[in-house]
Amino acid sequence: MCPLGGPLFDGFSRGPKARLVCHCLLIETDQGLVLIDTGFGLRDVKAPYSRLSPFFIHFNGVQFEQKYTALAQVERLGFSARDVRHIVLTHLDFDHAGGLEDFPEATVHVMQTEIEAAQDRRGFIASQRYRPGQWDEVKRWKYYSAGGEHWFGFEAVRDLDGLPKEILLIPLAGHTRGHAGVAIDTPEGWLLNAGDAYFYRHEMGSPKQRCTPGLRAYQWMMEVDRKARIHNQERLHALSLDRSKGVRLFCSHDAIEFDEFAPPAKRMT
């Protein structure tokens, strides 16, 4: 996404357009491929105005290119759509749920409160952010509520149906009602996809939190529960400072964080 405002959004662009990403994660497991979030999908690329809100298409400067879709990237790795057996969603916003229908065999895992909020979609922002056309053909859903053993002090959903026990949902409400991070216990330690619980890399990892004015305003515009959002962001910030926990975090839209995981030199474009 390339909203107008350049560095006022991303903190590094030189021109008038910022560079934000939709950071998806593909995990190879014994139960097949697991995709965390789906960004924009093929159908969004083909017919954006029949699926998405014109307001957000323009405001976020969405770039519709097939090569950026999760499906195109999964196929470039030598897999097919059918190999993706599970999709875990941080939330159902248009920039996370757009690729769901590109993977018809996948079971979709999401918090119960999130699907309820998405079906309710009352108010201008809710009606523009949640686009039922992106997910009305999903065949298999699994809904969850928090419970069970906590994860570094956070509530957690463990033992997701059919998924390896190394993948957990971590409820982080505020941006949306049922927003959640996804924690993965990897051979290199814990990784937390924090979704939209924060937006800018310098909100984490150093004692003083910083955010660009554009992303601060965007978070404010999109929040449904300010108190919960700030509280969760503060808890994540504390986790990011505690090196003894060894949790590596990233959010959905920061391009610099994305580049650290997938350096441009190694990326298949």
- Tell the smallest beta-carbon distance from residue 162 to Zn ion (Å): 26
Shortest Å, Cβ 203 to Zn ion: 15
Q: Which is nearer to Zn ion, 95 or 257 (CB)?
A: 95
Q: Which is nearer to Zn ion, 10 or 83 (CB)?
A: 10
Tell me the closest approach of the beta carbon of residue 65 to Zn ion, in angstroms: 18
Q: Which amino acid is at 103?
A: F
Backbone angles phi, psi at 106, to 5 degrees: -80, 145
Least distance to Zn ion, CB of residue 265, Å: 26
- Give the residue with the Cβ less far from Zn ion, 83 or 129: 129
Using the minimum distance from each CB to Zn ion, give the nearer residue, 77 or 230.
Answer: 230
Query: Residue 164 or 256: which CB sits closer to Zn ion?
Result: 256
Q: By C-beta, is 93 or 223 nearer to Zn ion?
A: 93
> CA 186, CA 166: separation in Å to the nearest integer?
7
Q: What b/e sequence results for 201-232 when a residue is b if at least 16 CB atoms lie within 10 Å of its CB, and e otherwise?
A: bebbeeeeeebbebbbebbeebbbeeebbeeb
Q: How many residues bind Zn ion (CB under 5 A)?
A: 4
User: What is the C-alpha separation between 84 and 105, in angstroms, rounded?
Assistant: 7
Q: How far apart, in Å, are the Cα atoms of 133 and each of 44, 162, 214? A: 10, 26, 29
Task: Determine the straight-line distance between the first and last CA of the chain, rounded to whole angstroms.
Answer: 16
Whether the Cβ atoms of residue 97 and residue 38 lie closer than 8 Å to each other: yes
Nearer to Zn ion, 240 or 252 (CB): 252
Site for Zn ion in 80-119 (CB under 5 A): 93, 95
| Minimum distance of Zn ion from residue 211's CB (angstroms) | 15
Q: What is the dihedral of CA 79, 82, 86, 88, to 10 degrees?
A: 70
CA distances to 62, 82, 134, 201, 250 from 41, rounded to whole Å, are 12, 15, 9, 25, 22
Q: Nearest approach, Cβ of 134 to Zn ion (angstroms)?
A: 13
Q: How far is the CB of 125 from Zn ion (least distance, A)?
A: 13
Binding characters for Zn ion, 231-260, by CB under 5 A (x = yes): ---------------------x--------
Establish if 44 lies at the interface with Zn ion (CB under 5 A): no
**Ranges within 180-209 binding Zn ion (CB under 5 A):** 196
Q: What is the DSSP letter of 108?
A: E
Helices and strands (H and E) in the chain: how many: 11, 9
Site residues (vs Zn ion, CB under 5 A): 93, 95, 196, 252
